[in-house]
Structure 1
């Protein structure tokens, strides 16, 4: 009998990735489908469509389904033994939403194993192009939500965040206000993560607490939908979202479609899928005092803070940033004057330094302090680049560690699949991942870097405020 294994999936912005691990947590299989390269018929750039207003950013839902068909066929032709998979979990790019047309659940449940899944599901989506995390076209919906909840601070105290343009509740509100008929035809709204889980489950998968907290809709303390938030976004929204569930929930067995088409065991369990960032944290095994940074399509910083200082509230912003809320490229010389261009070698250094300085500044605003024991755990595609990691180490004045695979969201999802099977016995994720290899030291700070960056960080913070409060200004700032 084949040794058991566990799958972790990552439906990210540019690729669909999969990892299989054995019971000793060793990676035994890894593969991916690159949307632009492997599915050119969808004509995406970086896995997305950036619309003419530069604010609206979407991805075709069927591209994600077809990518799943493609990667499973690749696994099959490589001789992968699907019958040994005991459980799987996965991750999806956060905030994106998928709209299932009325009657789609029956099609999902009864998909023919003779056909690739994308052929069965091609008529199932009331919105063909899903708004994703890069979309920032919902400013008016954000203002309306904050007003309905009595202000940004009150909304943040309920949902954990003020209204953000890319958060799912505001995206749903936009679709309802612009296309009420489309909304009416929708029987279920999934996040990308719960959509992906639904494909494997053969029925609508619930949203997990962690990914659900990035929607401006979930009461984070009670772990239930906020009725005032739902009502402010669209009517009948609660039944379209379903009930949120704990992130370690076993949702059920895999759909018979996969047993019949690929040979999965009918006993293979689907553990709730979550967002790519929390899945990455599981893969990187963040400990108290650590900083984790994902150097992928979006640079994302994760912090473990005991006493956070919530705030309502980097100069290269091709699309609108969440923090800081700015767009455009803003270059300043050493006299703090705006300039139109830098030499190429200065430009690339400024871009990388600026990203990392902004992250340290905003981490410290939230109450984080870099201590002598602080470790930075780096993941994502750019974590292979030692020169980038050196700048990161110097800016934060802390050593940088990496893990063997840059696909930490996949790896974390595979760990979470194992955890889902034992969570009811009060086994923690930390216990599950004890066998996993420790992160490896990649770089340490250059001597004297802290003395160099301390005044630069102060200057950067001051310039960032000028950009935020006067973003359209093209005059020199003296």
Structure 2
């Protein structure tokens, strides 16, 4: 079956991240035909950011980005594409990915400025006075602890906030950030006409009007009723007065935010009928870029931090992790878990016990048996989020049959290597199950730097009892945005929601094909069940460690 798109169509996806703005364009066969990037620090040095952000030198965890930098970056990125002779006139739909939790504060009457942009003049000059504050709080900000506790108390506790909104109150989430502005800068709050997320802000620039917040990114605010996919009255009241009017409407991720504004149609020669599909958050777009679209799909990103996300119809919100609406479906949910201790902690064990060599690390992993003879390790080089435990390494030898265990100071070098890999993966499996993700998954797509290590992938396959794959293209967020542009265009063309699998008719998009050379078969018979028993022992030890050392 052929592709469901016009032969000459192009789909454009953006990724507005912490450090850069990227673009990826796909043709009707979903082949990548163009890509470009603006690095905030090097391409826009006059903002004097450090990797795209300002850190408050007085401490306190306040971290923001200059809103106007994002405005200027969009125009510069389009100029770069034009210099490469990119054919804007062939673009039938655009969408985008925005760093989650960042927020933008539009000054009163700014909607009129957006609607009347002059294509003979640049965006920066025309929008320089459009914001009630020119500094946007972002996901790195951790200065709202008191606001988080106030919101949780008003709603009925941390678990109630998680059950209602999909996550407990987190410092980086937009609701606590809004409450802080209301409490400390009431003049800014009062002068604000509309509050956008980074995603809806960028979409607003493209349509020349305020774009809705999409439901998936909206779930990262502590303000949306997850089940109803509507603003929660109790959460709004716990955050700031008159907030619903400032937030505007919510919309499904596949919906049309509007058509491209005359400003971009005339200045860059976009097709006047070009659709702007709702932008969403970076993690939801990565899920789309990795072609995860069914319950049982799971992605594990093995990077500086380890991130896990998957799709389920039956989420179970808890005090850790996050639940969002599925960005590529009209129902269902995306679950995400984050671990601070990822590659840097694995590197520490490599340096201590494998002579700093990944080759030796892999050899040790291959030569030790599955389940490591009952040797379990808990390795935290950084204060961990999941579980909430301080820095420290803890080692145990357990006997599953007799239900006994003892704490030890150190393992032999090969056992240390297997202990950290198995330990991290057993924790991921356990917390995924607790959050409602099906285990064993239908498949795992592994990304991040450590996904190049076949030995780690083999352990992953055995622990989870399924095949593990990698993808060829690491930049999944802007690619996912381009795929969502194609999906949104198809939904609009047919006048109804259609599964994103329709987009993939004729084969998966370039760069997202599962690599057969790195596919790892499921573990040997019996390994999955045996790991399940070891996992349960691990979780019991983890529970006691949290009671003894952790923070609630």
Same fold (TM over 0.5): yes
Q: How far off its partner does 1:54 sit?
A: 6.0
CA contact (8 A) 2:467 2:522 kept: no
What is the aligned partner in structure 1 of residue 28 from structure 2? 23
* Distance (whole Å) between structure 2 residues aligned to residue 150 and residue 182 of structure 1: 28
Q: How far off its partner does 1:233 sit?
A: 0.6
What is the aligned partner in structure 1 of residue 350 from structure 2? none
What is the aligned partner in structure 2 of residue 434 from structure 1? 505
Residue 178 to residue 146, structure 1, CA distance change in 2 (3 Å): same
The answer to whether residue 274 in structure 2 is matched with residue 268 in structure 1 is: yes
Show CA shifts across 1:290-339 (max 9, x none). Answer: 2113456754211233544432245648987654445x643346685799
* Distance (whole Å) between structure 2 residues aligned to residue 236 and residue 337 of structure 1: 57
* Distance (whole Å) between structure 2 residues aligned to residue 320 and residue 39 of structure 1: 34
Q: How far off its partner does 1:282 sit?
A: 1.9
What is the aligned partner in structure 2 of residue 304 from structure 1? 311
CA contact (8 A) 1:87 1:268 kept: yes
Aligned match of 1:420 in 479, 488, 496?
Answer: 488
What is the aligned partner in structure 2 of residue 41 from structure 1? 46
Q: How far off its partner does 1:405 sit?
A: 2.1
* Distance (whole Å) between structure 2 residues aligned to residue 348 and residue 168 of structure 1: 39
Residue 393 to residue 54, structure 1, CA distance change in 2 (3 Å): farther
What is the aligned partner in structure 1 of residue 201 from structure 2? 195
What is the aligned partner in structure 2 of residue 444 from structure 1? 520
Aligned match of 2:549 in 470, 473, 477?
Answer: 470
Q: How far off its partner does 1:258 sit?
A: 1.1
The answer to whether residue 153 in structure 2 is matched with residue 122 in structure 1 is: no
3-state SS of 2:258 partner: strand
3-state SS of 2:23 partner: strand
Q: How far off its partner does 1:212 sit?
A: 0.9
Deviates more, 1:450-459 or 1:16-25: 450-459
Aligned match of 2:154 in 148, 154, 166?
Answer: 148
What is the aligned partner in structure 1 of residue 433 from structure 2? 364
Q: How far off its partner does 1:434 sit?
A: 2.5
Q: How far off its partner does 1:55 sit?
A: 2.9
* Distance (whole Å) between structure 2 residues aligned to residue 384 and residue 124 of structure 1: 46
Q: How far off its partner does 1:396 sit?
A: 4.2
Q: How far off its partner does 1:192 sit?
A: 0.9
* Distance (whole Å) between structure 2 residues aligned to residue 200 and residue 318 of structure 1: 43
Residue 83 to residue 359, structure 1, CA distance change in 2 (3 Å): same
Q: How far off its partner does 1:273 sit?
A: 0.8
CA contact (8 A) 2:466 2:523 kept: no
3-state SS of 1:3 partner: coil
Aligned match of 2:82 in 76, 84, 88?
Answer: 76
Show CA shifts across 1:128-168 (max 9, x none). Answer: 22222222322221221122122233333322222222221
Q: How far off its partner does 1:71 sit?
A: 1.4
* Distance (whole Å) between structure 2 residues aligned to residue 40 and residue 355 of structure 1: 39
What TM-score do the two structures reach when normalised by structure 2?
Answer: 0.75
Aligned match of 2:298 in 287, 291, 314?
Answer: 291
Aligned match of 1:220 in 223, 226, 233?
Answer: 226
Residue 273 to residue 469, structure 1, CA distance change in 2 (3 Å): farther
* Distance (whole Å) between structure 2 residues aligned to residue 347 and residue 329 of structure 1: 17
Structure 2, unaligned runs of 5 or more: 1-5, 321-338, 342-379, 397-405
Aligned match of 2:93 in 79, 87, 92?
Answer: 87
Aligned match of 1:278 in 275, 284, 289?
Answer: 284
Alpha carbon RMSD of aligned pairs, Å?
A: 3.5
* Distance (whole Å) between structure 2 residues aligned to residue 318 and residue 204 of structure 1: 43
Residue 398 to residue 49, structure 1, CA distance change in 2 (3 Å): farther
Q: How far off its partner does 1:79 sit?
A: 0.8
3-state SS of 1:304 partner: strand
* Distance (whole Å) between structure 1 residues aligned to residue 136 and residue 472 of structure 2: 33
Structure 1, unaligned runs of 5 or more: 473-478
CA contact (8 A) 1:173 1:234 kept: yes
Deviates more, 1:313-322 or 1:6-15: 313-322
The higher radius of gyration belongs to 2
Deviates more, 1:273-282 or 1:302-311: 302-311
* Distance (whole Å) between structure 2 residues aligned to residue 243 and residue 305 of structure 1: 26
What TM-score do the two structures reach when normalised by structure 1?
Answer: 0.85
What is the aligned partner in structure 2 of residue 331 from structure 1? 393
Count of aligned positions: 468
3-state SS of 1:98 partner: strand
Show CA shifts across 1:213-237 (max 9, x none). Answer: 1211111222221112111111111
3-state SS of 1:140 partner: helix
CA contact (8 A) 2:465 2:523 kept: no
3-state SS of 1:257 partner: helix
